[in-house]
């Protein structure tokens, strides 16, 4: 087929795209596609606003200093500190600064307490990498000694503490996750914290009657570490709060009845879509949002009746049956994106 075969069509003009006019003819489809792409690229180059703003935002994020966590249960409260104060890092944070990030004395860092307080300062190394940097180049044993001697790092504050208000509404996620095995529970906690959940509530139901959050399992400590790690990685001043496990009745009493301006959504198979309920709930102000996800096999009839009797919204997430952790992450992601529009 000829590349410039003529067809009885109206003349096409290239004024809008900057292309030459082709009266009484059209080009071969492959040439048309190529010229459309070329025209689009030309217009995109002429209007690089979106690209430049996105690139600037990414560059600004890359310039943010490393973040470390300071526990408020220690003797020093981060919000009560002043410029010039010295804040000692714990052993884990010191190791992360000296060994993992290989920071030097005087590098700018930020401290988060997980409750909205942020302060900047310079790293002060009283041991570890600063003292052993020369010897670590000589042999492997010196490097091993340096890794063991990571205590003593701290931060010399250069700014006054700044407190950030927690965004509203705050979303709490209650999930019957006692049956999650093989790291699925840890993955769920990590992703919920990344998306921005204010708190997580392990839910005890008839089909998920227990959850190991302490003792020999170490799940509670592991989830706390995940929450802190996500806070630092995502540059969120607040870490996700981990609440004690509770039953359905306790959940209703504590987080729905006793909460002012609370709204609760329950993930139910074959229920009405989530969007209409979300639109209606946004017509009134609410301070706390609660997302409730049942166990594998769903809630029992009695548990569903308790939830429905206290004004919860049964909502569906499509015509697919989702796993417990997938449903929780999907619903929270929708809520956080929808409220930002």
CA neighbours closer than 13 Å in the CB half-sphere of residue 139: 3
Name the pTM for this structure: 0.73
What percent of the chain lies above the pLDDT cut of 90? Answer: 36
Q: Is the Cα torsion angle 302, 305, 310, 316 positive or negative in sign?
A: positive
pLDDT digits 0-9 by tens, 220-231? 889 999 999 999
pLDDT band at 36 (very low <50, low <70, confident <90, very high): low
170: pLDDT strictly greater than 70: yes
pLDDT band at 335 (very low <50, low <70, confident <90, very high): confident
Instruction: Determine the Cα–Cα distance for residues 134 and 226; give it in Å rounded to an integer.
Output: 34
pLDDT digits 0-9 by tens, 225-261? 999 999 999 999 999 999 999 999 999 988 887 776 6
pLDDT band at 293 (very low <50, low <70, confident <90, very high): very high
pLDDT at residue 62 in the model: 53
pLDDT band at 190 (very low <50, low <70, confident <90, very high): very high
Pairing of strands 170-175, 199-204: parallel
Phi, psi of 105 (to 5 degrees): -60, 125
101: pLDDT strictly greater than 90: no
User: Largest alpha-carbon pair distance within the chain?
Assistant: 85
pLDDT at residue 152 in the model: 73
pLDDT (mean) for 147-170: 81
Average model confidence (pLDDT) across the chain: 77
């Amino acid at each position: 087929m000829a590349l410039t075969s003529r067809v009885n069509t109206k003349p096409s003009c290239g004024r809008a795209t900057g292309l030459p006019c082709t009266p009484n003819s059209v080009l071969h489809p492959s040439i048309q596609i190529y010229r459309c792409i070329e025209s689009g690229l030309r217009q995109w180059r002429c209007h690089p606003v979106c690209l430049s703003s996105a690139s600037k935002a990414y560059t600004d994020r890359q310039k943010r200093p490393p973040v470390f966590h300071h526990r408020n249960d220690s003797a020093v409260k981060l919000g009560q500190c002043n410029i010039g104060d010295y804040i000692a890092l714990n052993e884990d944070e010191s190791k992360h600064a000296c060994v993992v990030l290989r920071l030097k004395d005087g590098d700018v860092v930020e401290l988060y307490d997980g409750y909205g307080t942020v302060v900047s300062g310079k790293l002060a190394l009283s041991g570890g990498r600063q003292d052993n940097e020369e010897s670590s180049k000589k042999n492997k044993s010196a490097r091993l000694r340096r890794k063991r001697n990571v205590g003593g790092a701290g931060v010399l504050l250069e700014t006054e503490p700044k407190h950030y208000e927690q965004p509203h509404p705050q979303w709490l996620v209650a999930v019957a996750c006692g049956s999650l095995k093989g790291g699925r529970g840890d993955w769920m906690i990590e992703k919920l914290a990344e998306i921005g959940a204010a708190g997580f509530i392990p839910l005890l139901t008839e089909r998920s009657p227990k959850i190991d959050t302490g003792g020999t399992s170490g799940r509670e400590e592991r989830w706390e570490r995940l929450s802190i790690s996500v806070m630092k990685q995502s540059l969120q001043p607040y870490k996700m709060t981990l609440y004690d496990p509770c039953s359905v009745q306790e959940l209703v009493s504590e987080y729905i009845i006793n909460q002012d301006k609370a709204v609760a959504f329950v993930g139910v198979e074959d229920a009405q879509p989530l969007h209409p309920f979300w639109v209606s709930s946004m017509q009134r102000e609410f301070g706390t949002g609660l997302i409730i996800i049942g166990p594998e096999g769903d809630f029992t009839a009695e548990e569903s009746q308790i939830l429905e009797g206290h004004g919860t919204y049964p909502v569906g997430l499509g015509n697919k049956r989702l796993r417990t952790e997938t449903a929780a992450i999907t619903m929270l992601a929708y809520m956080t994106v929808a409220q930002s529009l």
